[in-house]
Structure 1
Amino acid sequence: MTVTVRYTCPHCNAVVSVERQPDLADRSVTTVPQPGWEYASPDEAFEAADGIEFLCGEDGPVTDLEGNAIEGCGRPFYLNFVRFEQGVELEPDPPTYDGPRFDFDA
């Protein structure tokens, strides 16, 4: 069973839709890829990837927030899935939630 899930482009607020398994856990949508993460396109088998790379308006139809067809901006954005390693949830680098992060190397 699949579900249709909608994501908003962070560049222009266009809405894209993708069919996917309902048990995939989303972490964030970002304008840049997470370092070291593997991304699939929306038309690939992305269940084994760390996320999906969208090209706004080029990977299929997009709409505005009310559902009217529009043209996308053509810029990439990234859906990042929750990622685990040996049963432990990995944090994105840098985190894309909970405010700023400050890493100071001595």
Structure 2
Amino acid sequence: MSFPVRYTCPYCDVVVTLAREGYLADKSVTEDPLTGWEYVPAYDFTDVDDGEPDADGVEFVCGASETEGEGCGNTFYLSFVRYEEGREVPGDAPLRPEDAPNFDFRR
């Protein structure tokens, strides 16, 4: 069962919505992609039943169909936590407090 999960554009604070399961662990929302991460456009993102996402993250375009508002047209990235040999893979983009995922489960 998918739920709407909302993220904020790091450029203009417009909210984007992605329908997905709650099993994925979000790492960060950043202006730049993490090196080595594979991103799928938000319009192509699909949850899968085996617990594995179809990519390492999601690429959003602010102002596209998943945006609740006009948007600025910039691209930004949601990165999921990745593991290799049982250890979390660090990302190369600095994580600022405002980049941390912000969940609203009240809806």
- Is TM (by shorter chain) over 0.5? yes
Pair 81,18 (structure 1): closer, same or farther in 2 beyond 3 Å: same
Higher strand share: 1
Structure 1 match to 2:102: none
Structure 2 match to 1:91: 90
Pair 94,11 (structure 1): closer, same or farther in 2 beyond 3 Å: closer
| Higher relative contact order (CA closer than 8 Å, sequence separation 6+) | 2
Q: Stretches of 4+ moved more than 2 A in 1? A: none
Q: Which has the larger radius of gyration?
A: 1
Structure 2 match to 1:67: none
What are the ranges of 5 or more consecutive residues in structure 2 without an aligned counterpart? 48-52, 98-107
One-letter code aligned to 2:74: R
What are the ranges of 5 or more consecutive residues in structure 1 without an aligned counterpart? 63-69, 99-106
Structure-2 separation of matches of 1:91 and 1:60: 28
| TM-score, length-scaled by structure 2 | 0.77
1:42–1:59 contact (8 Å) kept in structure 2: no
CA deviations on 1:27-73 (whole Å, 9 max, x unpaired) are 110000001110011122362211000000124332xxxxxxx3000
- CA deviation after TM superposition for structure 1 residue 95, in Å: 4.2
2:18–2:66 contact (8 Å) kept in structure 1: no
**Superposition RMSD on alpha carbons, in Å?**
1.7
| TM-score, length-scaled by structure 1 | 0.78
Structure 1 match to 2:21: 21
Structure 2 match to 1:74: 73
Which of 51, 59, 71 is equivalent to 1:53?
Answer: 59
Higher helix share: 2
Number of matched pairs: 91
